[in-house]
Chain A
């Protein structure tokens, strides 16, 4: 059983929506399979939709930050879309930054940025 949605190929990007009930084990599995797919599918970007997430704590934040670092090494950009304002404010208070990740307000915004690259 998995609390995470499957990975979809949309245009030249991989799209994944993380569900709110995702646990630490599942998010590490996602990091693993997404990293493999970036190399395999030779995509320009990875779009991580976190609009369902009520919280992003230091563990999930770190996994997302690492994923962005991995995709950069594999020559793909990472977009984090749909972050709730309350989540953003809490991340700042935790002192968490996602340096390699681009943030975009919506999926279509992320896709149009990827197209124009």
Chain B
């Protein structure tokens, strides 16, 4: 549900957007809810099947990482009307990603996973930005051109 008090701030431009949807990410059911909601928003805007599948797969990977590696967090979806993008922001207050290029490398995992989620999501999204630190946790912004 959109609400004034929970606007998202663009990491780079500091512009504020009212989210279309906002979800907690704590249990595996939350991952399904987040990616299905993104898929619905994209389909409503006439985005093609293949692009909906690609982007919601990226959302699923990033949302799962918030739970598995970041200790839980939250996820929001918003529109950047000026640029014509649907954007998502996931954030957690976990231990952060020490070496981002290494984490993006296919096959790198610190938790016995496949290690293809982060790098895969970057390839599947049109916009992909990571901000991460040991004390501030991890925020990942992704976007798809509408």
The secondary-structure label for the interface of chain B is: helix
B4 on the A face (CB < 8 A): no
- The bracket for how many chain B residues form the interface is 20 to 34
A54 to B36, CA, bound (A): 9
A94 pairs with B32, CB closer than 8 A? no
Query: Are B57 and A57 in contact, CB atoms less than 8 angstroms apart?
Result: yes
**Which of B28, B36, B57, B117 is A24 in contact with, Cβ under 8 Å?**
B28
Please report the C-alpha to C-alpha distance between residue A2 and residue B53 in the assembled complex, in whole angstroms: 23
Contact present for A86 and B114 (CB under 8 Å): no
**What mask results when residues 65 to 94 of chain A are scored 1 for a CB within 8 Å of chain B, else 0?**
000000000000000000011110110011
Chain A CB within 8 A of B60 CB: yes
Asked if A33 is at the interface (CB within 8 A of a chain B CB), the reply is: no
CA distance A25 to B28 in the complex (A): 7
Contacts A58-B113, A58-B120, A94-B116; is A23 near B32 (CB within 8 Å)? yes
- Asked if A59 and B53 make an inter-chain contact with CB atoms under 8 angstroms apart, the answer reads no
User: Quick one: CB contact mask for B22-35 with A, threshold 8 Å, 1 for yes?
Assistant: 00000111011001
Query: Which one, A23, A54, A84, A95, contacts B31 given CB within 8 A?
Result: A23
- B39 contacts partner chain A, Cβ-Cβ < 8 Å: yes
Whether A57 touches B60, Cβ cut-off 8 Å, given contacts A62-B114, A89-B50, A93-B120, is yes
Task: Give the docked Cα–Cα distance between A20 and B28 (Å).
Answer: 13
B124 interface contact, C-beta 8 A: yes
Assess whether B53 is in contact with A58, with CB atoms less than 8 Å apart.
Answer: no
CB distance from B63 to the nearest CB of A (A): 10
Given A21-B36, A23-B28, A93-B120 in contact, is the A86-B60 Cβ separation under 8 Å?
Answer: no
Verify A22–B32 contact, CB threshold 8 A: yes
List of B residues within 8 angstroms of A93 by Cβ = 54, 120, 123-124
> In A27-59, which residues have CB < 8 Å from any B CB?
54-59
